Amino acid sequence: MRAATAALLTAGLALACGYQIVSGTRVFGQDVQQLEIQMFENRSDEPGLEWMIGEALMEEFLRRGQLHTVHSGETTTSQVVLRGVVQQVAVRPSAFSSVAISVEDSIEVTVDVNVRRVDTGDVVWQRVGLVAREQFLSSPDPLVHETNKEMALLRVSTLIAESVHDGLFRY
């Protein structure tokens, strides 16, 4: 009896504080069950970044499981399509050694993303200038530097995917 009373009290307090069950219907509507993720356009100098972001988006939606997602070009009955553009990638030194050698760099990726309804073409959600940043160890060895930068780009892609998913479902 005490457990039931405690559960009711907790639920009542949660509702009183403004907590509520969140779903994607606020952005998409009840009819949307499937989302098509199109390959991003890459206007940056980072080859393959559009692929990294697309894979991160597919993984994020699959992991969270609230919408069925498909890649562009698959046979689909998607009601909404997610598109994006990688606008810019900037790498800057962010920490230096005592002899002014960069030991850590920062990478910043800027993307524009929108989601449109297939039936009307209306934009139902959009983020212009979404920025994600990550730090990575610099190196005088070009191969090590590029490997570290690529790992940072993978993490940035995941951050972008999380931000897009959370924006669509208003977390």
The pLDDT assigned to 38 comes to: 94
pLDDT digits (tens, 9 = 90+) for 134-152: 999 999 999 999 999 999 9
**Coil vs helix vs strand at 23:** coil
The pLDDT assigned to 4 comes to: 55
The pLDDT assigned to 46 comes to: 96
CATH H-level, domain 2-169: superfamily: Lipoprotein like domain (3.30.160.150)
Residue 35 to residue 107: CA distance in whole angstroms: 29
Each domain of the chain, given as residue ranges in start order, spans 2-169
Residues comprising the chain, all counted:
171
Q: Which residues of the chain fall below pLDDT 50? A: 18-25
The pLDDT assigned to 28 comes to: 72
